């Protein structure tokens, strides 16, 4: 493996009038004594898709899971995670409220072992919504947003586990959307899907970008370049480069990013 200078960074300065929804400042993550993420400072503009790319173990998933505090109890996270004006990495934050604003979809589809309808209705009821009509309307709306409604509308009582992998993943997106979040965190959502389901998912995300801010971890560079507006490249626990996707994939600044993108890596 080539030796790279991990301090060589190129982080794009976003124009001052850009509306930033989430920003991390000097984020550090430790698993025990293992320092897994170093000084990650990134900004995520509203209504955009940002792709996090990098090799396995580069820390991109760790970074993503830190944003909505899914690493609580697993890892120690230091630094600031600013959600608008609120530092999420503080003891005073109501984690459960916050996670409704910052939805997450995981690598492997994980619908509840309940019916399609209940998968969305149950967390809504837990949120305190009792009105049946309102719940029904939200279920329909979020299934439509996730482009699943037409495939399941006749049989909402069916077990969610009987859906195909791609459908399950879109159900998980619908479930997250039903909480009316601001931000969607996606941790390699297409990696367990076949190419057709994966393409459908990408179309869905393109649609969702109009209303949500999306941060997606992906292994597929094609997916990152097709889908995202911005790309951050992670390597060995460091953010190496952040820029517009087009810039990163045509003319990266650092040598290490260039090597990774051209497949001339390691």
Partner 1 sequence: MKAKTIDRIATGIIYALVSVVVLILLFLLGFILIKGVPHISWKFLTSPAQAFIAGGGIGDQLFNSFYLLILTLLISFPIALGAGIYLSEYAPKNWVTNLVRITIEVLSSLPSVVVGLFGFLLFVVQFKLGFSIISGAIALTFFNLPLLTRSIENSLSAVPDLQREAGLSLGLSKWKTVTRVIFPIALPGIITGIILSAGRVFGEAAALIFTAGQSAPAINYADWNPFNGTSPLNIFRPAETLAVHIWKINTEGIMPDANQVSAGASAVLVIAVLVFNLLARFIGARLYRKITAGK
List of residues contacting partner 1 (CB under 8 A): 68, 70, 96-100, 103-104, 106, 108, 110-116, 118, 122-123, 126-127, 157-162, 172, 175-176, 179
CA-based torsion, 124, 126, 131, 133: positive or negative: positive
CB of 175 to partner 1, least distance (A): 7
Q: What is the DSSP secondary-structure string of 197-251?
A: HHHHHHHHHHHHTTT-EEEEE-S-HHHHHHH-SEEEEEETTEEEEEEEHHHHHHS
Q: What angle do CA 257, 261, 264 make, to 5 degrees?
A: 90
35 three-state secondary structure? strand
CB of 247 to partner 1, least distance (A): 32
- Backbone angles phi and psi of 35, in degrees to 5: -85, 100
CB of 146 to partner 1, least distance (A): 15
Q: What is the DSSP secondary-structure string of 103-143?
A: EEE-SS----SSBHHHHHHHHHHHTT---HHHHHHHHHHHH
Query: How many C-beta atoms lie closer than 10 Å to residue 255's C-beta?
Result: 14
Nearer to partner 1, 186 or 256 (CB): 186
User: Which residues touch 108 (CB under 8 Å, ≥6 apart)?
Assistant: 192
CB of 220 to partner 1, least distance (A): 21
Nearer to partner 1, 64 or 232 (CB): 64
CB of 161 to partner 1, least distance (A): 6
Nearer to partner 1, 15 or 128 (CB): 128
Rounded Cα distance between 149 and 174, Å, is 10
Rounded Cα distance between 207 and 49, Å, is 11
Nearer to partner 1, 126 or 150 (CB): 126
Nearer to partner 1, 185 or 248 (CB): 185
Query: How many C-beta atoms lie closer than 10 Å to residue 160's C-beta?
Result: 24
Query: How many C-beta atoms lie closer than 10 Å to residue 209's C-beta?
Result: 17
CB of 212 to partner 1, least distance (A): 15
CB of 150 to partner 1, least distance (A): 20
């Amino acid at each position: 493996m080539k030796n790279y200078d991990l301090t060589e960074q190129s982080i794009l300065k976003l124009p001052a009038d850009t509306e930033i929804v989430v920003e991390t400042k000097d984020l550090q993550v430790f698993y025990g004594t293992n320092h897994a993420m170093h000084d990650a400072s990134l900004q995520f503009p509203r209504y955009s898709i940002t792709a996090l790319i990098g090799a396995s173990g580069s820390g991109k998933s760790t970074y993503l899971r830190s944003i909505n505090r899914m690493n609580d109890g697993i890892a120690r996270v230091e630094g600031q995670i600013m959600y608008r004006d609120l530092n999420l990495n503080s003891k005073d934050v109501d984690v459960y409220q916050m996670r409704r604003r910052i939805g997450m979809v995981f690598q492997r589809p994980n619908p509840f072992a309940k019916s399609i309808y209940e998968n969305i209705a149950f967390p809504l009821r837990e949120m305190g919504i009792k009105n049946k009509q309102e719940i029904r309307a939200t279920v329909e709306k979020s299934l439509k947003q996730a482009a699943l409604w037409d495939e399941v509308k006749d049989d909402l009582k069916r077990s969610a586990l009987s859906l195909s992998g791609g459908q399950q993943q879109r159900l998980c997106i619908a479930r997250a959307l039903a909480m009316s979040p601001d931000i969607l965190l996606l941790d390699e959502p297409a990696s367990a899907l076949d190419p057709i389901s994966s393409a459908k998912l990408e179309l869905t995300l393109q649609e969702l970008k109009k209303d949500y801010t999306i941060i997606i971890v992906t292994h597929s560079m094609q997916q990152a370049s097709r889908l995202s507006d911005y790309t951050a490249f992670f390597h060995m626990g460091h953010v190496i480069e952040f820029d517009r996707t087009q810039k990163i994939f045509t003319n990266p600044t650092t040598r290490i990013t260039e090597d990774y993108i051209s497949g001339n890596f390691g």
